[in-house]
Amino acid sequence: MVKGAKGEDESWAEREREEEEYVPLHVPEEFRSVAWEESKVKVREVWQRYLGQELILEPEFQRHYVWDPTRASRYIESLLLRLPTPAIFIAEEQDGLWAVIDGHQRLETVFRFLQPVLQGPTAAAGKTQTKYTVLTPLTLRALEVLPELNGKGVVALSIEDRSKLWDTELSVIRLPKSVHSDMKYALFARLNQGSMSLNSQELRNCLYRGPYNKLIASLGEDYRFLTLWKKNEPDKRMRHRELVLRVFALLHRMDRYRRPFRSFLNDEMETNRNLDPVSAERFRQEFAIACTWVDRVFGQEAFRLFRRGDTGNPPGRWGKPRNDLLFELEMVGFAQAGALLEKTWSSLTDADRKLFAMAVRRRLVDVMVLDRFVDAFSEGTTDPGKLRRRFELWTQALGKATNEPDALLRDAKVLHQKLIQSNVCAICPNQVGPDDAAWASTEGAQRLVHRFCQTPSA
């Protein structure tokens, strides 16, 4: 196996491991002190904020609700008994909304229990006409101190018990708007280290609400994008969303790349959080043209690494797993070069289009088999030097394809005719395919051979 040629799960796991290595966050000294505020907030006020969309539970969070009915019921019991409960951490956003950093399970439990008050004459707390997320109502069960309430929902409680619940105070720790984004992210990550801890993209989904987050969510479910990955549906842990974010971050701000990689992606989310509609449409077009060209050039081999043959097996071959690092290169590269490639494409016949796509693929396979390129896929893939090397080699090859389309097509036609005449390697007795074909001087003539057979080591 070629050193550094990792599959989809392997490369993703390595990237995740690297993110756990010690790479300090770049938090300016003046932002390292967090002036948090602790207060007591009644259940009634929290409910009003929820209904008024001043405290938002994203619909997709419902799959992260993991409390069973017994645990949820006993939390409500604790509130009715006015027992101490853990603090809820809130980050105040620029628009004054509350973003829940820690305490989602507890708050959603409260909202599930209170949901039925919106359905009839018991509707209370105001703002019931506001759009809100419909949650599955909670019926109390397995209570330890108040067993007489088992089997009851909120509308079945006595007026006294219901009033007591409305007036119960929750401990809320609020982070002001001025908190540095990396500090907020670090706190969020540390508070979410339980058995169902959120991954990096799930944390971003919580912290960076807005048009950009919605765009990334939409593109993460794009049919063409998922088809390239051979997936029927997006990853439930938002891995496909992070892939979309990586494309835009590397496409628009590679010159500002910094480690750790997660902070680089956080910067991208923070900068474009309130993306305007015109920019959002431009981003969509960039993503669309990249998907189009990945499909045209690589098709079934999208995001796979081509490996040169060896002594025991001279023909080159495509790796089976799809690789997220190659995904970055292919998507960013074609997003940059797509407009020029489209110009050439529009002037070609159907037959020439197939040859042109083959020629572009061959030019990029030339890069894949370089030792310098393969080394940049080995350990430490988030290292700035390795990242830049991957992209420099890739974009240089694509640049030649876009700047010299006529020469590229002419060479492709020559190769195509040669393969029709004979597709057997002039050095070994194996067949040669267009991706693995190379020219070598044998018996005084230029003949087709495998890439490996062309090397001195062969």
Which residue, of 129, 160, 178, is where some domain finishes?
178
Domain boundary among 129, 162, 178: 178
Share of the chain above pLDDT 90, in %: 65
Distances (CA, A) of 445 to 313, 433, 439, 449, 450: 25, 20, 10, 12, 16
CA distance 48 to 124: 9
Which amino acid is residue 106, in one-letter code?
Answer: R
Domain containing 219: what range? Answer: 8-17+212-451
| Residue 83 forms part of a structural domain | yes
The answer on 163 and 249 residing in a single domain is no
- Whether 456 is in a domain gets the answer no
Say yes or no to pLDDT of 170 above 80: yes
Q: Are residues 256 and 136 in the same domain?
A: no
Residue 149 — pLDDT band, cuts 50, 70, 90? very high
The 10s digit of each residue's pLDDT in 118-131 is: 875 444 444 444 45
Closest CA to 283 of 219, 217, 346: 219
Q: Element (H or E) spanning 235, and its range?
A: none
Residue 2: per-residue pLDDT: 42
Within a domain: 457: no
Q: How far is it, in rounded angstroms, from Cα 441 to Cα 106?
A: 73
Q: Is the pLDDT of residue 307 over 90?
A: yes
Give the contacts of 363 (CB within 8 A, at least 6 positions apart): 397, 398, 400, 401, 408
168 with 233, same domain?
no
In this structure, how many other beta carbons lie within 10 angstroms of the beta carbon of residue 148? 9
- Does residue 84 have a pLDDT over 90? yes
- Measured between alpha carbons, how far apart are the two ends of the chain, in Å? 17
For 208, the token pair is: 């960076």
* Alpha helical stretches, state H, 169-276: 181-191, 200-207, 211-219, 223-228, 239-253, 261-271
pLDDT of residue 3: 44
In a domain, 76, yes or no: yes
Instruction: Specify whether 162 is located in the same domain as 254.
Output: no
- 92 strand-pairing partners: 98
Same domain, 138 and 235: no
The whole-angstrom separation of Cα 411 and Cα 92 is: 60
Is there a single domain that holds both residue 228 and residue 360?
yes
Domain-terminating residue out of 157, 178, 199: 178
- Report the DSSP beta bridge partners of residue 437: 450
Q: Is residue 295 part of a domain?
A: yes
Whether 85 has a pLDDT exceeding 50, the answer reads yes
213 pLDDT more than 70: yes
Q: Is residue 139 located within the same domain as residue 236?
A: no
d(CA 291, CA 288): 5
Q: Are 217 and 169 found together in one domain?
A: no
Q: What share of the chain is helix, strand, coil (3-state, %, to 5)?
A: 55, 10, 35
For the chain, the average pLDDT equals: 87
- Quick one: 13 and 54 in the same domain? no
In-domain check, residue 131: yes
**Dihedral class, residue 308 (left if φ above 0, else alpha if ψ from -120 to 50, else beta):** beta
Residue 313 lies in a domain: yes
Query: Residue 39: pLDDT band by 50, 70, 90 thresholds?
Result: very high
CB 3 within 8 A of CB 10: no
Give the pLDDT of residue 292. 98
Instruction: Indicate if 338 and 364 belong to the same structural domain.
Output: yes
Report the domain count for the chain.
2
Same domain, 216 and 168: no
Do 98 and 223 belong to one domain? no
Question: The tokens 């790349």 sit on which residue?
Answer: 257
- For residue 68, being part of any structural domain is answered with yes
259: which residues sit within 8 A by CB, 6+ positions away?
23, 382, 383, 384
Percent of the chain with pLDDT over 70: 85
Q: What pLDDT is recorded for position 122?
A: 44
- Report angle CA 126, 115, 202 to the nearest 5 degrees: 105
Please check the confidence at residue 430 and state whether its pLDDT lies above 70: yes
